[in-house]
Structure formats: structure tokens, C-alpha cells
Structure 1
Amino acid sequence: MGQHLGPAAALAFAAAAAAGYGVASVLQAAGARRATGLLQTLRAPAYLGGIALDLLAWLASLVALRTLPVYQVQAVLAGSLAVTVVVARLRLSARLRPVDVAAVAVTVAALVALAAAAGPQDEARPAGAVRLGLALTAIPVALAGWAGTRWGRPALNAALAGLAFGGAALCARAATLPADPLRGLPELASEPLVWALAAYGLTGMLLYADALEHGDVGPVTAVLWIVEVLAPSVVGVLALGDTVRPGWGVVAAVAVTATVAAAAVLANAPASLSGY
């Protein structure tokens, strides 16, 4: 899963994932808005199309995570909101505010800075306690999500979805995988982080669907990406050995912050909302 990719190729996978997420979010929101109830949402053709594209984007992001640090991949993925806004402008003739144009420019500049700031990454080899903690945390996140779909607000469910997707990213970075996953299926099936990754991913998908059904897509998506970028990025640096090029720590921190801020602006852009 990308263990032998060079940084440039891995970054291309991350960028492709961001593009896929940008289009998929449009389809998912359209399906959620036309449905009543979570089960009907999950059966809506537009939503299913978005899920299929989401899955492809997710797999591309997992490939990128085998080579690149978590903070870099997650920030690139947050750039999917810029993709959504630009596509809405080109395909739907949607109006862009000056602040939206500025946010797109900030996103592009921040991602270029992140690409330059990422240090050389070794294969993540976290301690056993870290691996166990990542795997077991999937349980309380899932339980909190179950409670959130019954009593929580859309913003809370979006935040929990961000935690879940962030947990999946961390598992993808930390998991020990066979060189040939097809021939090493028994070894793959015995890796707890692979099962935790699937649990995180499923939890995030269901929570995001529920948040989209009951909340406005802009704020919901903004909360999702803010949590999904910041939380796993911190864990990646502290526990998985993700590094920043010497002397570039401030640049990386500013770039991640700028990406999150731009995502919050773009999530509320008329261009991103008019397409739904």
C-alpha cells in the first residue's frame, strides 16, 4: 500500500484523493437532502455514487499515508473543499465571493508549503502500547457516534466523524502490512489496526451521513475537516514519528492552520452550497 512510493508519487495520490472527496461531497449532500432518515439516505443513488467515489479517494489517501506524514496528507485532503468550490464555479456558474477566491489561493499556497516542509519519513514503527491504544480507541469513538446519532447535534456528529476518519488515517500510517497484501491475506487479517481502520471508516461514514441529513453541509463539512486535520496530525507527530524538515516547523504549523482556516471559509461559500 504505497510503501515503496516516492514522495512525489504519494503526494499525487493525496491530491487525487482530495479531488475525489471534493466531487463526492456534492453527491453525498444531494442524496442526504433528498432522503428522510438515515437508511433512506444510504440507499439514495446520488449518495451511493458519492460513497463509491469516496471509497476510491479513501484508498488513494491510504496509499499516500504509507509514505507521507499524517499532517501532510490530511491537510491536502482538506483542500477538497477548494476543489468543490472551483467545480461549482466552472460547472454551475456559481458566484464566488472575493473571500472565497482568497481562500482557494491560500489553500494552494499552504499545500505547496506543506509539500516543501515535510521531512523524510521512515516507516512508522510505533510502540505496542500506541498500536493497542489506536485499535481500542475505535470502540469509544463508535459508541459516542451511536449516542450522537440519537441525541447529538450535527456539529457534534461531524466532529466525531472527523475523529473517526482521523483514526483511520492513523491506523493506515501505523499498520504493519505484508509486502504483497494479496498473498499475505492471513497476515493482513491478523493485523488489529486493519480491523480498527475499517471500524473507524464505517463509523465516520455513518456519522457524516447523519450530520449531513440534519445540518447545513457547509458548517458540517468545516467541523469535519478541522477535527480530521488537527487531531490526527498531532498524534502523528507525537506518537508515530512524523517529521518536519529541520527549520520548517513554523512553516508547517502555519500551513496546516491556514488550510483549516481556508476550509472553514470555503465550507460556507455560496459556490459550494449552491451545487447541492
Structure 2
Amino acid sequence: MSLALLAALLGTFGYGAGSVLQSIGTSRARGVMVVRQPTYVAGLVCDGVAWLASLLALRALPLFAVQALLAGSLAVTVVLARIVLHARLRVRDWVASGVITVALVVLAASAGPLSAQGPPRPFELTVLVGLGILAVATVVASRRARSVELAVLGGLAFSGAALCARAAHTSGSWGTLLHEPLAWAVLGYGALGMIGYTGALEHGAVGPATAILWVVEVAVPAVVGVWVLGDTVRAGWVVPAVVALVLALGACVVLSSSPSGSHG
């Protein structure tokens, strides 16, 4: 459990730093040319490390806990944006960051034992069909060039990646994952998530885009994880977990309007 928590925290800081670096990169180039920006590439590396860390965390913690911990990266993003981009940080931003920190501690403490049950039979087909639909929607949204739409789609894509990773975990060992359609779906959803988030950063500020992304990416896997994949909460911790989740999401909304997220 402690290793999983450390992995989730590594993911938190990795995603936070990656968001700021990618924001800088997308402010200097557009489209495919952004991959020639060293800061953007560095941001991708941070995201890659964070993503691998999240996969490790998912092998011992339920989805709602891992995704909420990773959402704490928004607080990291806002603070780093203040340092790197020299934006003003409001009192409410400090308060929201503190609320997120406390809420994530409660969520981590409320995580119950990971269920060993496999996903229901229709799950695999559903996520594969969803991958195709999301790919079409992302192409259409990219042409419309609207940050909010792209951020929502990016959040849904990363949600799909997390759900597939969680479901693949119960289907076998690491060595068997290469033969799992769900494992390959993780890569597809992850790629769509990166495309959607990059587009959101190109056409909007890093704060709102990241906040929308994480609200979707926490809420969707939390609901599906508990109701479909059998994730559990410790006895007596349901109410604290729900309150902490709501507070964390509310703090994300507050941070989304932070001046530290105005660069984009």
C-alpha cells in the first residue's frame, strides 16, 4: 500500500510539472510543430513517468483514490505556474490547494482492499467501441478548436485509460497483458487523452483546461470503479470519502480560475 501511495504521489508531481512545461511549449508553437519544443517534450516525459507511476498505484489502490490523488497535480500546476510563469497567486488559491491536500489524505485513507473480481462480460466490448467513438469526437472537436470541448474529451479519454488499466489488472499478470485487448486500449485512450489535452492547451489557459480534465478524470472512473469494477471503501469511511471527493473537485474548480493558470 505504501509503495502504491508513493507511486500515486510521484504521478501527482509528474503531471503537475508536465502541465506547466506543455503549456509553455504550446505557447511557442502550434499543431505538430509543438513536438519540436524542448519544454513540450520535457512535459511529455513528465507525463509518461507519471502515467507509469499511476499504473503501479492502480495495482494496489482503487480507482477513486488513485485518480483523486493524481488530480492533486492541479495544485502543483498552479504553484509551479506561479514560480515559472510569474503569475499572481490569490489567497483562495492557497486555501484551495490546502483543501485538496487534506481531501486527498482522507481519500487515500478511505481506500478499501482492491477487489479481485474481473470486469463484467460487456465491459471489454463497451470500452473498445467507446474508443472508436471518442476518436471520431476528438477529430471533430480539434477542427472546432474549442478548449473546453477538447479538455472534456481528454478527460474522458484518460478516464478510459484508467478504467482499462484497472480492468486489465484483474485479468492476469503483467506478463499476460500484451495479449489483453484492454492493455492495448489503454494506449489508445492515452493517446487520445494527450491529443485532447494538447489541443485544449493550444486554445485556452492551462488552469481551466487542467481543471476540467481532472474533474472528468476523477468523477467518471470513481463511479465506474465502484459500481462496475468492484472498488471498495473502508468500513465507516463512505461519508468522509464522498465529502473529501466533493471538496477536492470544488477546489479544482476554484484553482481553474487562478491567474497562475492564465498562460496559454
Quickly name the TM-score band, shorter chain normalised.
Answer: over 0.9
Instruction: Using the TM superposition, give the Cα deviation of residue 152 of structure 1 relative to its aligned residue in structure 2, in angstroms.
Output: 5.2
Q: Quick one: which of 208, 212, 229 aligns to 2:218?
A: 229
Match of 1:19 in 2: 13
Match of 1:72 in 2: 65
Matches within 5 A, 1:149-160: 149-151=142-144, 153-160=146-153
CA separation of 1:98 and 1:41: change in aligned 2, threshold 3 A: same
User: 1:194-221 CA distances to partner (integer Å, 9 max, x unpaired)?
Assistant: 1110000000101111111111222111
Instruction: Using the TM superposition, give the Cα deviation of residue 255 of structure 1 relative to its aligned residue in structure 2, in angstroms.
Output: 0.9
Match of 2:259 in 1: 270
* Letter paired with 1:172: A
Instruction: State the number of aligned residues.
Output: 263
Instruction: Using the TM superposition, give the Cα deviation of residue 272 of structure 1 relative to its aligned residue in structure 2, in angstroms.
Output: 4.1
Instruction: Using the TM superposition, give the Cα deviation of residue 93 of structure 1 relative to its aligned residue in structure 2, in angstroms.
Output: 6.3
The 1-side partners of 2:145 and 2:154 are apart by 12
* Letter paired with 1:116: A
* Letter paired with 2:227: L
Q: Quick one: which of 224, 236, 243 aligns to 1:247?
A: 236
Instruction: Using the TM superposition, give the Cα deviation of residue 72 of structure 1 relative to its aligned residue in structure 2, in angstroms.
Output: 0.7
Instruction: Using the TM superposition, give the Cα deviation of residue 125 of structure 1 relative to its aligned residue in structure 2, in angstroms.
Output: 1.2
User: 1:73-105 CA distances to partner (integer Å, 9 max, x unpaired)?
Assistant: 111111001112333455666543110111011
Instruction: Pick which of 95-104 and 190-199 moved more.
Output: 95-104
Q: Secondary structure at the match of 2:112?
A: coil
The 1-side partners of 2:117 and 2:141 are apart by 32
In structure 1, the gaps of 5 or more residues are 1-6
Match of 2:160 in 1: 167
Q: Quick one: which of 16, 26, 39 aligns to 1:46?
A: 39
* Letter paired with 1:40: M
Let me know the Cα RMSD of the aligned residues: 1.8
Match of 2:23 in 1: 29
* Letter paired with 1:110: A
The 2-side partners of 1:197 and 1:113 are apart by 28
Q: Secondary structure at the match of 2:235?
A: coil
Match of 2:209 in 1: 220
Question: TM (normalized to structure 2)?
Answer: 0.93
Match of 2:195 in 1: 206
Question: TM (normalized to structure 1)?
Answer: 0.89
- How many percent of aligned residue pairs carry the same amino acid? 49
Match of 2:247 in 1: 258
* Letter paired with 2:190: G
Check conservation: 1:41, 1:209, Cα contact below 8 A.
Answer: no
CA separation of 1:94 and 1:29: change in aligned 2, threshold 3 A: closer
Check conservation: 1:124, 1:173, Cα contact below 8 A.
Answer: no
In structure 2, the gaps of 5 or more residues are none
1:148 aligns with 2:137: no
Check conservation: 2:115, 2:232, Cα contact below 8 A.
Answer: no
CA separation of 1:104 and 1:172: change in aligned 2, threshold 3 A: same
Runs of 4+ residues over 2 Å off in structure 1: 84-96, 176-179, 270-274
Check conservation: 2:153, 2:193, Cα contact below 8 A.
Answer: yes
Check conservation: 1:218, 1:268, Cα contact below 8 A.
Answer: yes
1:125 aligns with 2:125: no
